[in-house]
Structure 1
């Protein structure tokens, strides 16, 4: 727990930065369960449309992570975070406009997609900027811990924002929920303004983005496969409960986030201590078991336990692989590499929504979680392979 001590000025700055991230990320968390319910229940569209609306944020982030990383390397992480928060506000306002057009689904839906796209662009700049800022504050040797705290903020926001989003949808409608989401990044902008940034890196010759991706794609693929389980819970857990007429549909993200944050707080030091690939292998096994539990659940308690177990498993995979990625590139390419690395996670989140929606329409919601379990098992196999390659190279 020494890492959390506020007596170290650098650690105190990092804690403040992650607190700002938690507050701001609620604007992503609140719409996550509300969007598919709004699209399928209020606009009367099918599950593929609901999944696409959920995944649009992450699809947009896929194609903008590289640009956001290069921007953070050149202009500095603080400027990148500020730009991302401004895009969050714009995305919230456009999504609010979609909520005001509920009686016109053919107008409301494309408007909502535009708002989700802006939110995804903002997520690129905020996500890459906060990580690069945190690494700049405490140093690259603590990258795993930075990623652990950043992830705890993000998934803590998901744990809180998920049920809040459904409550707001029920009490004040989709437009009201989006109004709250728009306010939160404004508060984040106010909170981060007086914070000291870190200087951008000097600009020596830079390899192409594809060349950088060539160094890290294996670790990114593990994160992509890991993300399918979370994306399934985020997009379809509430609909799964509603379809089975179970109570507590809004608690899926809370259960997931609770397990996720618990592991980050208690064991966030493990990637730096015992190695990222070792931690990822064990974590993916736990995630796979959690997804199987959700798939085979005969009641809400078991399904929520599976979501909690999925959170336990997912928790350390991103910081574990992020630690490995940072070690593979020089400092002036760090934000760019992290941007490309994070795009693999966005790929999982973006594609799982519409593809799982298509599957849910044909064979039911439970099948989505079985796919999540299979993906985690494949990720575990890749992690074991990379670990064996490293051991062979060091022999």
Structure 2
């Protein structure tokens, strides 16, 4: 249910929420690479322990998505966002003694680090699920795809700028400056959220976890299978260029990101107007072609083309499948649908790195893109089995 009887314009409805998501995800993206370097170089952590600390966030994000959706449906999405954003700031405060104040060999350091990362994972669940559901309420359910497209731009823009910004802050001012930004950004987002009007949750009976997952598993699985290509691009593209002795890995990433953003800027309305299935099929077909090009590419120019085509295809998969997921559940359970749907992408991010890393070890640097192509083809076949709109 919208906060007003007439859906708001895109600028009025989404502008503040896009800023909220961007600031919230700065708290996620800014310490990501900087924390790994600080733990390894300054504190002497092993790579395995660094991985465990970093991974605690993703695990908690998956675990808490359903709870965040329940809060949205029962108490309203504004409540969910106002739980997640201060919690993100608090996670930075908890990390402060673990990384700055206590000696590295203190028995409290690892538990505090794991607690801080788990808090950040839960915070992401609550503020992103809340912001997505809030946007649908402000824009109207008929523009669900557009909401998810714009929130996705904010999310990836924050992650894309946050990581290099965090590394620059680490080098220029130390890890305490990284934490300072990670604390202040979600606090500023909290202030913006407090100034926005919310709308009440539906209350009433809740669908159990297994029932909601049972309703959204098909579009969610399509998203997860498609998401393996995103992991291949963000994690293994530069390594592939390096292994082949090619220059221009940065240009390949720029091509992928630029294509992704341009499609969302100009074609975000398509899932709402044309339907999630139709847009999803076209998007996955492009993504499949892009991954095949990257796997086959004999030189950097075909690889660049593959990166661009992958970005064109991947861009609208999330909003297209979001449209399909939200139509699978009653309106009163929309928050749970959004939360559990996003959890499928979280799983792809969490499992994709080790899976594609194994593929690269066994099959060479191009193997992750072959896995991306095969998983995209599987997503395309599964998508064609989605039930039609009633």
> Could you state the TM-score of these two structures normalised by the residue count of structure 1?
0.82
Does the 8 Å contact 1:50/1:357 carry over to 2?
no
Deviates more, 1:282-291 or 1:324-333: 282-291
Q: Distance in 2 between matches of 1:130 and 1:124?
A: 10
CA distance in 2, matches of 1:192, 1:209: 28
Cα shift readout 1:239-286 (whole Å, capped 9, x = no counterpart): 666777877877776554432221111110110111111111221222
> Which whole-Å CA distance do the structure 2 matches of 1:285 and 1:36 have between them?
36
Could you tell me how far 1:192 is from its partner in structure 2?
Answer: 1.8
2:274 aligned with 1:274: yes
Matches of 1:304 and 1:167, distance apart in 2: 27
CA gap 1:299/1:87 in 2 versus in 1, 3 angstroms: farther
Q: Offset at 1:155?
A: 1.8
User: Is structure 2 residue 367 aligned with structure 1 residue 390?
Assistant: no
Matched, 1:160 2:158: no
The separation in 2 between residues aligned to 1:232 and 1:275, in whole angstroms, is: 27
User: Deviation at 1:332?
Assistant: 1.0
Contact 2:70–2:206 (CA under 8 A) maintained in structure 1: no
- Contact preservation (8 Å) 1:95, 1:115: yes
Report the equivalent of 1:70.
Answer: 70
CA distance in 1, matches of 2:115, 2:301: 36
Equivalent pair of 1:162/1:253 in contact (CA under 8 Å): no
Structure 2: runs of 5+ lacking an equivalent: 1-6
Instruction: Please report how far the alpha carbon of residue 291 of structure 1 lies from its aligned counterpart in structure 2 after TM superposition.
Output: 3.6
CA, structure 1 residues 361+338, in 2 after alignment: closer, same or farther (shift >3 Å)? same
The secondary structure found in structure 2 opposite 1:198 is coil
Is 1:329 the counterpart of 2:329? The answer is yes
Asked if the contact 2:16/2:192 (under 8 Å) is kept, the reply is no
C-alpha distance in 1 between matches for 2:277 and 2:200: 31
Judged with a 3 Å threshold, the aligned counterparts in structure 2 of structure 1 residues 59 and 372 are, in CA distance, closer, same or farther, namely farther
CA-CA distance at 1:337 after TM superposition: 1.4
Deviation at 1:237, TM superposition (A): 5.0
Q: Go from structure 1 to structure 2 and tell me whether the alpha carbon gap of 1:161 and 1:83 turns closer, same or farther (over 3 Å shift).
A: same
- Alignment-derived partner of residue 81 in structure 2: 81
Local SS of the residue matching 1:216: helix
How far did 1:195 drift?
1.0
Map of 1:13 onto structure 2: 13
In structure 1, how many angstroms separate the alpha carbons of the residues matched to 2:60 and 2:121?
Answer: 5
Aligned length: 382
Residue of structure 1 equivalent to 2:121 = 120
* Distance apart, 1:50 and its partner CA: 5.8
Q: Verify: 1:311 aligned to 2:311, yes or no.
A: yes
After TM superposition, the structure 1 stretch with the greater mean CA deviation from structure 2, 233-242 or 261-270, is 233-242
CA contact (8 A) 1:290 1:309 kept: yes
Q: Which residue of 2 aligns with 1:376?
A: 376
Three-state SS of the structure 1 residue aligned to 2:195 is: coil
Match of 1:184 in 2: 185
SS at match of 2:384: helix
CA-CA distance at 1:137 after TM superposition: 1.0
Contact 1:78–1:133 at 8 Å: present in 2 too? yes
Query: How far off is 1:179 after superposition?
Result: 3.1
Write out aligned runs for 1:1-395 (5 A): 11-34=11-34, 43=44, 45-46=46-47, 53-97=53-97, 99-100=99-100, 111-203=112-204, 205-237=205-237, 255-295=255-295, 306-358=306-358, 366-386=366-386, 390=388
**Contact 2:72/2:79 (CA < 8 Å) preserved in 1?**
yes
Matched-pair contact (CA < 8 Å) for 2:285–2:380:
yes
How many Å separate the matches in 2 of 1:36 and 1:247? 26
- Deviation at residue 374 of structure 1 after TM alignment: 2.3
Deviation at 1:24, TM superposition (A): 2.1
Structure 2: how far apart are the matches of 1:14 and 1:144? 12
Q: Which range is displaced more, 254-263 or 71-80?
A: 254-263
Gaps of 5+ in 1: 1-6
Distance 1:357 1:39 in 2: 22
User: Which stretch of structure 1 is more off in the superposition, 287-296 or 221-230?
Assistant: 287-296
- Report the more deviating stretch, 232-241 or 258-267: 232-241
Name the Cα RMSD after superposition. 3.5
Structure 1 position 359, deviation (Å) = 5.0
